[in-house]
Amino acid sequence: MNYRITLAYDGTDYSGWQFQLGRRTIQAVLSGALEKLDGAPVTAYAAGRTDAGVHAEGQVVSFRLTREMDGATLLRALNGNLPQDIRVLESSQVADDFHARTDAKSKTYLYQLYNSEVMNPLLARYALHYPYDVDLDRLIEDSHSLVGTHDFTAFTVAECETRTRVRSVTGIKIERAGNILTFSFTGDGFLRYQIRTMVEALVEANRGRLKTRSIAELILSRDRSLVGAPAPAKGLTLMKVEY
Amino acid sequence: MNYRITLAYDGTDYSGWQFQLGRRTIQAVLSGALEKLDGAPVTAYAAGRTDAGVHAEGQVVSFRLTREMDGATLLRALNGNLPQDIRVLESSQVADDFHARTDAKSKTYLYQLYNSEVMNPLLARYALHYPYDVDLDRLIEDSHSLVGTHDFTAFTVAECETRTRVRSVTGIKIERAGNILTFSFTGDGFLRYQIRTMVEALVEANRGRLKTRSIAELILSRDRSLVGAPAPAKGLTLMKVEY
C-alpha cells in the first residue's frame, strides 16, 4: 500500500532530512517509526530534502507499507512513535504511483528575519537576527529580478550535482509585521542552499554590499564566489508542497 | 544610580524569576551579569516574579549600580554578558525612587493555546496543545465574569501568603488566528498561578467540565478545590508593564 503524509518538524536538533550514518535526521527517525509499525524496513521519500536546521510546516512524504491502514489510524500510530518535535499533520492512502518528490509541482518556503537592534529570544530558533536598517521597497524591487526561469548557479554549492541549474521561481512575497520580515518563495524546485543564498543576496544588496551592480547581474554571472555564505538554516521553513 | 531595563526571555530552561539556591533562575543569571559589570553584588527587582517556564517579552526590572552609565552602554554591556535566551530590549537611568515592582500600575500577560488535533512542533515551547472543539463565543462570554475586582482565592495556591486575595482584572481579550487562540489578561497585579488557573477554568467551562454552574459561582466559592491544576507555564508570557 502506498501512503502520503504531511509532516511538521522543528529542525533545530536534526542534521536535515536525508539519512546519514551516525546522524540524527528526520528521515532516519521517521523510518524507525515506520519500521516499528510495519515490521520491516521502510524507505520514505520527502518532497523537499531539507538541510540541517531547516524546519517544516508542510513537508510531504510518501512510502509503502505491507499493512493496510486507514489514514487516521496511521496518523495516531506514527505520532505515538515519533518525538514531539516531529508531528504528522495529515495521512492518507494514495494511488500506487504517487511519489512525494518526483510528483511535486511546486514548493513554498518561508524565510524569517527579526529586524531590531536586539533579538527576541522567543524567535531565536526560527528567525535570523538582522539588526540593520531595511529598505523594504528596495528589497521587494530587487526580489523581482529573481522571479522567472534562470540558471541559479551563483546561488548553489559548487559541488551541486544536478543535471541542470535552471529553476523557475514563480513568486516571491516580502512582508513586514512589526519587527518580523518574512520572505515567501514559491517555485517548481530549488537547488541546494538556493533560497538561503537568495536571502543573503537580497540582504547584501539592501546594505549596499552586493559585489555585482544588481541581483540581475549576479544571476547572469553564474559565479558562486560573488555572494556570501547562505543565510542561516534556522530562518527557513518548508511551508507547502503542491501536486 | 538607579536603572530600569526591559527584559525578554525564553523561560523554558529557567526555574522562574526568583532567586533559589542551586537553581538557574532569571534573577540569578541577571544578577551575575550585573555583579560582573559593577564589581559588587546587585539586587534586581522585577515587576512580575514569573514562575518556572513562563516567558517574557516586556518584563521590567530595576536595580542600583555604583557606576554611572548611559542606557545604550548598559544595554550592550549586559547583553554581552547574558545568555541568548535573555535579552535586554531597553535600558535607561531613572529617578532614584523608581521601583519596578511596587510602582507597577498594570501588567498584561498573554496565554496561547494551539487548537488542532495535532500540535505544531514550532509552537511546542510557547503554546499549550488543545485538541478539543472550542466555542469561542462562550469562551469570551465566560471571560467577562472574571473582569472586575474579585477575591480570587479559588484561582491561587492554598499557601499563597499575600495580605489580600482581592485583585482587579481590567481586561481580557480572547482572539483566534488560524489554529492559535490567544488570551490577553490585563490587571493591577495577579496572584500566583491566577492567570493559568483562569485559563484552566475557562477551558473546563468550554468543555462542560466545570464543577460549579458558572465561572461567577467559582469565584464566589473561594474554593481552590473546585478547579483543576493551572494550565502549563509554557503558554504564558509577560507582555507589558505600565507605570
Residues B138 and B212 in one domain: yes
CA distances from B214 to A19, A117, B194, B224, B242 (A): 54, 47, 17, 15, 31
Stretch B94-114: mean pLDDT, rounded? 97
Query: How far is Cα A126 from Cα A55, in angstroms, rounded to an integer?
Result: 8
Candidates B175, B160, B154; CA nearest to B224 is: B154
Question: With bands split at pLDDT 50, 70 and 90, how would you rate the model's confidence at B162?
Answer: low
* Residue A158 pLDDT greater than 80, yes or no: no
Report the CATH number that the domain containing residue A10 is assigned in CATH: 3.30.70.580
* B122 touches A10 (CB < 8 A): yes
Distance from CA of B206 to the nearest CA of A (A): 25
Question: With bands split at pLDDT 50, 70 and 90, how would you rate the model's confidence at A163?
Answer: confident
A38 lies in some domain: yes
Report the CATH number that the domain containing residue B238 is assigned in CATH: 3.30.70.660
Q: What is the pLDDT of residue B164?
A: 86
Question: With bands split at pLDDT 50, 70 and 90, how would you rate the model's confidence at B95?
Answer: very high
Residue A110 Rama label (left phi>0; alpha psi -120 to 50; beta): beta
Q: Chain A residues with CB inside 8 Å of B9's CB? A: 121
A48 DSSP assignment: S
Stretch A10-14: mean pLDDT, rounded? 98
Question: With bands split at pLDDT 50, 70 and 90, how would you rate the model's confidence at B157?
Answer: confident
Question: With bands split at pLDDT 50, 70 and 90, how would you rate the model's confidence at B136?
Answer: very high
Q: Please say which residue of B45, B66, B94 terminates a domain.
A: B94
* B219 touches B146 (CB < 8 A): yes
Question: With bands split at pLDDT 50, 70 and 90, how would you rate the model's confidence at A159?
Answer: low
Residues B225 and B194 in one domain: yes
Query: How far is Cα B126 from Cα B55, in angstroms, rounded to an integer?
Result: 8
Q: Chain A residues with CB inside 8 Å of B178's CB? A: none
A152 lies in some domain: yes
Residues A148 and A30 in one domain: no
Residues B149 and B124 in one domain: yes
Host domain of residue B86: 2-94
* Residue A29 pLDDT greater than 90, yes or no: yes
* Residue B30 pLDDT greater than 80, yes or no: yes
Q: What is the pLDDT of residue B159?
A: 67
* Residue A196 pLDDT greater than 90, yes or no: yes
Query: How far is Cα B193 from Cα B224, in angstroms, rounded to an integer?
Result: 11
Distance from CA of A66 to the nearest CA of B (A): 25
* Residue A210 pLDDT greater than 70, yes or no: yes
Q: What is the pLDDT of residue A161?
A: 63
pLDDT digits (tens, 9 = 90+) for A123-143: 999 999 999 999 999 999 999
Structural domains in chain A (count): 2
Catalytic residue among A13, A38, A51, A188: A51
A45 lies in some domain: yes
Task: Tell me the pLDDT of chain A averaged across its residues.
Answer: 96
B40 lies in some domain: yes
Residues A65 and A128 in one domain: no
Distance from CA of B52 to the nearest CA of A (A): 16
| Cβ contact A122–B237 (<8 Å) | yes
Question: With bands split at pLDDT 50, 70 and 90, how would you rate the model's confidence at B12?
Answer: very high
Residues A152 and A217 in one domain: yes
Stretch B124-130: mean pLDDT, rounded? 97
Bridge partner residues of B128 (DSSP) = B113
Q: Please say which residue of A47, A63, A94 terminates a domain.
A: A94
B100 lies in some domain: no
Amino acid present at B62: S
Residue with the three cell numbers 498573554: B110
Q: What is the pLDDT of residue B47?
A: 97
A101 lies in some domain: no
* Residue B161 pLDDT greater than 80, yes or no: no
Stretch A20-40: mean pLDDT, rounded? 95
B130 lies in some domain: yes
pLDDT digits (tens, 9 = 90+) for A59-94: 999 999 999 999 999 999 999 999 999 999 999 999
Q: What is the pLDDT of residue A164?
A: 86
Q: Chain B residues with CB inside 8 Å of A120's CB? A: 8, 57, 87
Distance from CA of B149 to the nearest CA of A (A): 32
Residues B35 and B141 in one domain: no
Bridge partner residues of A86 (DSSP) = A9
Interface of A with B (CB under 8 A): 8-10, 55, 57, 75, 79, 84-89, 118-122, 124-126, 237
* Residue B160 pLDDT greater than 70, yes or no: no
- Work out the angle between the directed axes of helices A71-81 and A26-38 (0-180°, nearest 10): 120
Residues A81 and A114 in one domain: no
B134 lies in some domain: yes
Question: With bands split at pLDDT 50, 70 and 90, how would you rate the model's confidence at A41?
Answer: very high
Residue of B nearest to A117 (CA): B89
Residues A30 and A143 in one domain: no
Residues B110 and B185 in one domain: yes
* Residue A162 pLDDT greater than 80, yes or no: no
Stretch A177-198: mean pLDDT, rounded? 96
- How distant is the alpha carbon of residue B160 from its chain centre? 16
Q: Chain A residues with CB inside 8 Å of B85's CB? A: 121, 124
Stretch B162-185: mean pLDDT, rounded? 94
Task: Tell me the pLDDT of chain B averaged across its residues.
Answer: 96
Indicate if A51 belongs to the active site. Answer: yes
Q: What is the pLDDT of residue B93?
A: 97
Residues B139 and B187 in one domain: yes
Q: What is the pLDDT of residue A160?
A: 59
* B95 touches B2 (CB < 8 A): yes
Q: Please say which residue of A94, A128, A160 terminates a domain.
A: A94
Mutate which: A87, A126, A128, vs B, most B CBs within 10 A: A87
Residues B80 and B114 in one domain: no
